Amino acid sequence: MDRWFKRSFWRNLVDMHIPDWNQDFMRGFSPDQYAQNMQVAEVDASELYTGNCLGICFWPTKAGLMQEGLQGKDIVGPTLGLLQEKSMFTLAYFNIWSRWAFDTHPHWRLVRANGTHTTRNVDGSTSRYGQCCLNSPGYRNYVKLQMEDLAGRYAFDGAWIDMLGWFGTICCCPDCRARYYEETGQEIPETVNWFDPEWVRFQRSREKWMTDFAVMVRSTLQAVKPGVSVVFNCGSWQSGWMGGCSQAFLDQSDYLAGDFYGNALMYTTFCKFLNNATMNRPIEFMTSRCIDLHDHTTTKTRAELKYTASGSFAHNGAFTFIDAINPDGTMNPQLYRDMGSLHRELKKYQDALSPDAVMLRDVSFLFNFESFIDLRSNGISLRKLADGHVVFAETSGSPRLKMMQIAKAMISDHLAFDLTCLKKIAEAEQNSQVLVIPNQYVLLAEELAALESFLEQGGSVLITGQSGIIDKDGHKLPDFAHADLAGVHLQGVSDEDVTYLRPMPEASELFGDYDQKYPLSIDRHSTLIKADDDVDVLARLTLPWSHSREIHRFGSAISNPPGLDTDYPAVTLRHHKKGKVMYLSVPLEEITFAAQQRIFAGLLRYLMPENSLIKTNAPAWLEWLVYADPQKNRYLIYAMKAMETYYEMSARDVTIALRLPDQQGELQDITTGRSVSWHRDHDYVCWQATEINDFAMYIFTVT
């Protein structure tokens, strides 16, 4: 079915988080001007606020509070109507947070283990946001009534639901305690422990409750308005276990959409994962036109906005720019003129997009939500978390930094890669040479079966660190879940937090200038293993003289030089079925420095049964993405800046070789609209670009 979001790539959302303590707030809102701004910006889908994070609504709601400055005047219906007259798709935005509900109904509130609420942050500072609990019957009914009212009153193509989730709060309110006891016969556990099935059961309950709330919202909307698309902001996936996100929750959205703030490296990282976790493509990548949401007037430069939108297009995704309304309800019309101008510049790329095209890659990194945990949080009480004695980033298990380090290593080495999950593992198997399990504590049975299948096809697998040491229910396994694949067996974890990979002479070419006297250092604990007889040991583990926090018996006062050569295997290789399995005792992919990243990339290249997808002399900041689009008998080829800078960049005299064996066709530069001369070098289609700036797009049409 050709749904509206398959044809929409240039969207807008205007934040309206305006209170009503001042009677002049929102008085200047004009549906005509709003719709005119959208038309000038050339947006094809407008996401209109109906209710904000304060619980203030912009229509005469039957439940809750209407914005007082509007004096009962409905602005939702007229604005939707005008947008639809201008042939735009329309979405009704609604924010689940409600400060009004928090203040009016105290028994609906989220409550931490120490009794505090969300108007006080865990560091003691105050917050403007009052959050209510997803398990509160009164709050659930309030949201249900709002959804029924919206869907029954207005015509719109989709509902865009924001801020559904736990957002780092471990709620211990009476409703959560009662529901957990009713479902399990147990009290909420007091301490985090990922080796304790009772704790993990509580975490699975938090995930289930979040999904259950989403199901309620979705079913309520679609019962009144069958066929309407429903989307929940998916941003909580990057928060680790504390966010409570799961694949089941993401599957309640017709497509994944979320607002993200950072740099080009972050954009390309997140788009990849979301493209694989989504029910339907295209995904929607959103970001503010200002520096971030805390800034109200400082607009990003045109170059920043351009490469941000282009980065979304390079992943065949829809781009949404977020503006914020002034308290009086007015908007800056110049922004919309500028965005219209930018759209005209980028439309040639948008017109060529194909959301269902499949990314080709050398390597796919497989993640699962069950592994978005951090074992350093074991033993931490919920009270300590609530009191702010523990830094959130150190306990959340958020995958975002790990994913970005992986992306940086792959891009700088020009290895085509993807960040995927079980939902799209079949696609990864079909289009990858290597599958990587990057220190994923949980290995699901379905994932193990897929790895076996991939090896049977002749693919290679790389597994790192403590992958597969616990099951999804929190039982610590006596051996790796992947022991039969990799031929290695769990013995423990090093006490030392700096470890070394000591290359064996026969594998010295894999480790560059590092050798047995000067091994490769890794600032991580190492898993201790033994290997089966049919496993080749490429490197063994060398330990420093002590842990880095030892203050008496150490090898050096500043560094932790190698001191003890052990017999523990650290890098192993096993031929299994028709493929190869490599195991690294340390998560080398997480290390930030170029030296370690190059070694990691070299190990991947060693495992690849064929040559890499792309060969190029392009600088390390230029990423290449290639998609097969069989419906149109073509390949989409993108080059984009993907590093941590907002400055414009340019690469000159770039040579590109793309492995497309036995394909003949025509190559076109979409930026210039001109045909590009190319030649074949064995399996590669080769050409040269005089100059590539932040973004370029080519299409190779097969003849």
According to DSSP, the residues that pair with 695 across neighbouring strands are: 640
pLDDT-wise least confident of 21-35, 287-301, 635-649: 635-649
Cα(424)–Cα(254) distance, rounded to whole angstroms?
16
pLDDT at 1: 60
Closest Cα partner for 465 from 601, 570, 579? 570
Tell me what the mean pLDDT of segment 346-359 comes to. 97
> Torsion angle, CA of 675/681/685/688, rounded to 10 degrees?
-50
- ∠ CA(248), CA(249), CA(251), 5° rounding? 65
pLDDT at 396: 87
Handedness of CA 197, 201, 206, 208 (dihedral sign): positive
pLDDT at 648: 80
What lies within 8 Å, CB to CB, of 214 at 6+ separation is 161, 164, 232, 249, 252
Cα(467)–Cα(519) distance, rounded to whole angstroms?
24
Closest Cα partner for 246 from 444, 107, 66? 444
pLDDT at 394: 67
The CA distances from residue 134 to 138, 166, 170, 238, in Å, are 10, 8, 12, 20
Closest Cα partner for 176 from 218, 149, 139? 139
Residue 393 has pLDDT above 70, yes or no: no
Tell me what the mean pLDDT of segment 68-73 comes to. 94
Give the relative orientation of helices 264-277 and 302-314 as an angle to the nearest 10 degrees: 30
Q: What domains sit in the chain, N to C, each tagged with a CATH number?
A: 1-95+255-357 (3.20.20.80), 361-607 (3.40.50.880), 614-702 (2.60.40.1180)
56 within 8 A of 18, measured Cβ to Cβ: yes
What lies within 8 Å, CB to CB, of 154 at 6+ separation is 59, 76, 77, 80, 92
Residue-wise pLDDT tens digits, 575-615: 999 999 999 999 999 999 999 999 999 999 999 999 999 99
Tokens of 438: 């990057």
Cα(492)–Cα(479) distance, rounded to whole angstroms?
10
421 within 8 A of 368, measured Cβ to Cβ: yes
Residue 25 has pLDDT above 90, yes or no: yes
Tell me the H-state helices in 225-354: 247-250, 264-277, 302-314, 333-350
Q: Give the Cβ contact number of residue 255 at 10 Å.
A: 23
The CA distances from residue 12 to 176, 284, 335, in Å, are 36, 11, 12
Residue 530 has pLDDT above 90, yes or no: yes
Cα(622)–Cα(655) distance, rounded to whole angstroms?
12
Cα(311)–Cα(241) distance, rounded to whole angstroms?
28
Residue-wise pLDDT tens digits, 189-224: 999 999 999 999 999 999 999 999 999 999 999 999
Cα(453)–Cα(426) distance, rounded to whole angstroms?
10
Tokens of 371: 């592994």
DSSP state of 235: G
The CA distances from residue 284 to 235, 275, 461, 564, 640, in Å, are 12, 9, 31, 51, 18
The CA distances from residue 116 to 27, 387, 657, in Å, are 36, 9, 59
Residue-wise pLDDT tens digits, 99-153: 999 999 999 999 999 999 999 998 889 999 999 999 999 999 999 999 999 999 9
Parallel/antiparallel/unpaired status of strands 651-659 and 684-692: antiparallel
Residue-wise pLDDT tens digits, 416-469: 999 999 999 999 999 999 999 999 999 999 999 999 999 999 999 999 999 999
Residue 472 has pLDDT above 90, yes or no: yes
Residue 389 has pLDDT above 90, yes or no: no
Q: Give the Cβ contact number of residue 549 at 10 Å.
A: 7
100 within 8 A of 109, measured Cβ to Cβ: no
Residue 285 has pLDDT above 90, yes or no: yes
Parallel/antiparallel/unpaired status of strands 89-95 and 158-162: parallel
Query: What's the pTM value of the predicted model, to 2 decimals?
Result: 0.97
Residue 665: phi and psi, rounded to 5, are 175, -165
What lies within 8 Å, CB to CB, of 376 at 6+ separation is 394, 395
pLDDT at 269: 96
Instruction: List strands edge to edge, sheet with 679-681.
Output: 614-616, 651-659, 684-692, 679-681
Closest Cα partner for 701 from 615, 629, 616? 629
Closest Cα partner for 170 from 186, 184, 189? 189
Residue-wise pLDDT tens digits, 318-331: 999 999 999 999 99
Cα(397)–Cα(371) distance, rounded to whole angstroms?
8
Phi-psi region of 315 (alpha: psi -120 to 50; beta: other; left: phi over 0): alpha
| DSSP calls for 99-138 | HHHHHH-GGGB---TTS--TTB-TTS-B-S---B-TT-HH
Round the average pLDDT of the chain to a whole number and report it: 96
61 within 8 A of 95, measured Cβ to Cβ: no
pLDDT at 388: 85
Q: What percent of the chain has pLDDT over 90?
A: 94
Parallel/antiparallel/unpaired status of strands 318-324 and 10-15: parallel
Q: What percent of the chain has pLDDT over 70?
A: 99
- Amino acid residing at 679: H
pLDDT at 392: 66
pLDDT at 292: 87
